[in-house]
Amino acid sequence: TRAHVYVTRRLTPAAMTRLSELDAPVVVHPDPERPPTRRELLESVRGAVALVPLLTERVDAELLDAAGEQLRVVANVAVGYDNVDLAETARRGIAVTNTPGVLDEATADLAFGLLLAAARRIVEADRFLRTGRPWAWAPTMFTGLDVSAGATLGIVGLGRIGMAVARRAHAFRMRILATGRRASSPEAADLGVVAATLDEVLERSDVISLHCPLTPQTHHLVGPAELARMKSTALLVNTARGPVVDEAALVDALRSGSIAGAALDVFEDEPQLHPGLRELDNVVIVPHIGSAGAATRDAMGLLAVDNVAAVLAGRPPLTPVEP
Ligand code: GLV
Ligand code: GLV
């Protein structure tokens, strides 16, 4: 039998069609409702020539060993690849690809939506109205941050997605501080971005939005000391990766009022939420939907499948991750 392509979850119909055009048999995890268990993963990957995982799958030495020596490519359906052990894939000569570029606008839209939701307390106000309690327009009811009156946005990790957020912030006439290698680029300067250190971002921003990848260097980048540096009126938005924030410390900060609020798309121990987070009124929480534009999800799946097709045809992958 020919080596198969193992896909750990049903992708969008467009991507499924493209998968069926590959010059290899395709095995798709049958249950659309849940990820494969570790045991299912280890069994189904055996003998595969290509693996198409989601960010929910940990691709490590054990999984690569279970796959076998014929495995040539891991095509992650995500821009982040912290779920893949790049030292182990490199050691085995296995190509790794991600889906950069195609999800920048969708993710920036969600980040900005979360920013506005937290600033103007939209979800909290919606929840209040649904209680049916009597209300009347009042000068101080649900007042929040004036985003477009010169509020300062701090972008931590100004890459492709951060730049897309900066374009939105610029249109809202926000002041923009940013860390990251592109913070001093001409493109950033055109949007009024001022390059800053993390401490400057923490101390001066009214809203901080995280856009760095998860690496050993960014794990708990925002912990108790960093939260303490933030303004008591500041808001934290995270559409990057949960472990970039010390979630226990964040719950403490939100509870004590040492920062004003947060809006989170990602969590430290997904799909679990830190105890107490759900009960807080000053946090907006959504289940990792940053890239969940319908066309964006098509584009991510198509790019992952095209990466597999390239490697199977002996061509270089389109969007390789460099170890
Ligand atoms: C989603 O979180 C991604 O990395 O694409
Ligand atoms: C608010 O609704 C206003 O009319 O100012």
Per-residue model confidence (pLDDT) at position 86? 98
* Distance, CA of 40 to CA of 36 (rounded, Å): 6
Q: Which of 81, 98, 103 to mutate to test ligand 1, by most ligand atoms within 8 A of the CB atom?
A: 103
Per-residue model confidence (pLDDT) at position 271? 96
Q: Quick check: 323 pLDDT over 80? A: no
Per-residue model confidence (pLDDT) at position 3? 97
Closest ligand 1 atom to residue 241 Cα is 2
pLDDT tens digit string along 246-255? 999 999 999 9
Q: Quick check: 17 pLDDT over 90? A: yes
- What mean pLDDT comes out for the span 67-75? 98
Q: Quick check: 219 pLDDT over 80? A: yes
pLDDT band at 322 (very low <50, low <70, confident <90, very high): confident
Closest ligand 1 atom to residue 78 Cα is 5
Nearest ligand to the CA of 141 is: 2
Q: Quick check: 1 pLDDT over 80? A: no
Q: Assess contact for 272 and 74: CB atoms under 8 A.
A: no
User: Among 62, 200, 203, 270, which one carries the catalytic annotation?
Assistant: 270
For each of the domains in the chain, give its residue range(s) and CATH number, in order of start.
5-102+294-312 (3.40.50.720), 104-285 (3.40.50.720)
- What mean pLDDT comes out for the span 203-221? 98
Amino acid (one-letter) located at 196: A
- What mean pLDDT comes out for the span 49-59? 98
Residue 241 annotated as catalytic: yes
Residue 105 annotated as catalytic: no
Distance 142 CA to ligand 2 centre (A): 14
* Distance, CA of 309 to CA of 316 (rounded, Å): 10
Cross-strand bridge partners of residue 84: 59
pLDDT band at 176 (very low <50, low <70, confident <90, very high): very high
Cross-strand bridge partners of residue 27: 6
With a Cβ cut-off of 6 Å, ligand 1 is lined by 55, 78-80, 103, 290-291
What's the chain's average pLDDT?
98
Global pTM value: 0.96
Q: How far is CA 119 from CA 62, 70, 116, 157, in A?
A: 44, 51, 5, 21
pLDDT tens digit string along 94-123? 999 999 999 999 999 999 999 999 999 999
- What mean pLDDT comes out for the span 291-312? 98
- What mean pLDDT comes out for the span 262-271? 98
User: Among 9, 29, 241, 274, which one carries the catalytic annotation?
Assistant: 241
Q: 198, 191, 144: which is closest to 170 by C-alpha?
A: 191
pLDDT band at 76 (very low <50, low <70, confident <90, very high): very high
Give every CB contact of residue 259 below 8 A, 6+ residues apart in sequence.
227, 230, 231, 232, 234, 235, 236, 253
- What mean pLDDT comes out for the span 28-34? 94
pLDDT band at 167 (very low <50, low <70, confident <90, very high): very high
Per-residue model confidence (pLDDT) at position 185? 98
What residue owns the CA closest to ligand 1's atom 5? 78
- Complex ipTM, two decimals? 0.69
Distance 139 CA to ligand 1 centre (A): 40
